[in-house]
Structure 1
Amino acid sequence: MTSHDIAALADLESLYAEPAGASLAKEVDYLHPHYRAFVDASPFCLLSTRNEHGGDCSPRGDQPGFVQVLDDRTLLLPDRRGNNRIDSLRNIVNDPRVGLLFLVPGVNETLRVSGTAKISTDPALIARCVHDGKVPTTVLVISIRSVFFQCARALVRSALWSPETQIPRDRLPSTGTIVAELSNNAIDGVAYDREMPERMRKTLY
């Protein structure tokens, strides 16, 4: 049987045109002021890490500028309160390579950053990330290796920012429904959903 899987780099490259022009010129190994503008305006990014199963990706969000620029080669990302799985942090302990994808509401271009991260409890860095008296347990200090903008095609195709594409939450299973079924009803899904707004309010930071 003929395989249609691509396993060799040469075979892959034969299917695509050579990158040129802006697709190459846009990549730098530092945070150019134009790229810093994206980081400063972004309230949301995706953090990619690696584990023994493969790649992992986790959302990170807060007020615009929550990812702080220490210098043109270093970013500071606070680890806000979550579910204590600390998957991304565990991954970074074993493999420091990370990727970040910054999104800005209403803007179709995104910003891609790759580099390495270390987990810090430095009091001076922690103090920079205090919100309403709440301090993060740790912060990520990210050393930049590559930065470039991703063109708008993906977000244009998805119409991500269009109000017409928004889906009512009740069209998808609730989080309580999911955890109840996956736990064989060891977790009360109805109670989980009912208590979620107050739990979120108390544990946001």
Structure 2
Amino acid sequence: MNEDPFQITDSAALEALYGTPAVASLRKEVDYIHPHYQAFIAASPFMVLASSGPGGLDVSPRGDQPGFVEVKDDKTLLLPDRRGNNRIDTLRNIVTDPRVALIFLVPGVGEALRVMGHARITTDPELLGRFAVAEKLPKTVLVVHVESVYFQCARAVLRAGLWDPARQVDRKSLPSTGAILEALSQSEIDGEQYDQELPQRLKNSLY
């Protein structure tokens, strides 16, 4: 196999190509959750959680009402683990490697908030009860010790037109979840039946 003659393999080459970071891009990073950054977390109904483990990398979307991730103090975040598909890929990773990275998004806002730190998984009854919804408890809560926080500028969101209603995609233009499952399971799963039952199943299993 021929090697890519243009491949960059060291940091020095990257730095020569991209140049020196702007002062603002460095000053925005802190090792605690500044009150301004707390405001972003409180307003966010959606975040993405990245983790690493023996099986490789994982990234998982998490969403709920704004403020579903609670700022316990300026070094600690609390994240309830709501119902899902029970693959628990993220949790399996954290058991063996506690390093995590989070990105918070706020609808209509261009900037994203990036958080890095270490997480632990707890079943502390007090914390579970703290995140009860309609008397339903999360199975676990992630306690994230924060080590780095900074905002990401709006360029990516602006380029994507993420909050532009005119650029929203009609769901019917893409394969349905049932169609995907039927194809990948070689018809073991009935795609049409899956699609018919999905709306009610989602409604019944949000919490």
Per the shorter chain, which TM-score range? over 0.9
- 1:129 corresponds to which residue? 131
> Counterpart in 1 of 2:83?
81
Asked if the contact 2:103–2:112 (Cα under 8 Å) also holds between the matched residues in 1, the reply is yes
- Compare 60-69 and 123-132 and name the one that shifted more: 123-132
Task: Look up the match of 1:198.
Answer: 200
CA–CA distance in structure 1, aligned partners of residues 199 and 141 of structure 2? 26
SS of corresponding position for 1:160: coil
Q: Say if 2:35 is the partner of 1:33.
A: yes
Partners of 1:55 and 1:17 lie apart in 2 by 29
Query: Which string of whole-angstrom CA distances, capped at 9 and with x for unpartnered residues, describes residues 156-178 of structure 1?
Result: 01010000000000110000000
- For the Cα contact (< 8 Å) 2:117–2:147, is it kept in 1? yes
Give, in whole Å, the separation in 1 of the partners of 2:150 and 2:57.
21
Aligned equivalent of 1:51, options 47, 53, 74: 53
Q: Deviations over 1:41-62 (max 9, x none)?
A: 0000000001335321100000
Aligned pairs (5 A) from 1:9-20: 9-20=11-22
Q: Which runs of 5+ in 2 are unaligned?
A: none
SS at match of 2:18: coil
Instruction: Give me the whole-angstrom Cα distance separating, in 1, the residues matched to 2:57 and 2:93.
Output: 10
Partner of 1:105: 107
Give the count of matched residue pairs.
205
Distance (Å, rounded) in 2 between the aligned partners of 1:71 and 1:86: 27
SS at match of 2:142: strand
Runs of 4+ with >6 A deviation: none
Q: Equivalent residue for 1:150? A: 152
> What does the per-residue CA deviation read over 1:19-64, in whole Å, with 9 as the maximum and x for residues that have no partner?
1311010000000000000000000000000133532110000000
C-alpha distance in structure 2 between counterparts of 1:54 and 1:109, whole Å: 28
Normalising by the residue count of structure 1, what TM-score does the alignment of the two structures yield? 0.98
Tell me the TM-score normalized by structure 2: 0.97
Which of 141, 144, 159 is the equivalent residue of 1:139?
141
Which residue is equivalent to 2:165? 163
Percent sequence identity is 60
Match of 1:23 in 2: 25
- Match runs of 1:61-80 below 5 Å: 61-80=63-82
Structure 1 residue 8: deviation in Å? 1.1
**Structure 1 counterpart of 2:176:** 174
On the 8 A contact 2:54/2:96 being kept in 1, the answer is no
Q: What one-letter code is carried by the residue in structure 2 that aligns with 1:94?
A: T
Name structure 1 gaps, 5 residues minimum. Answer: none
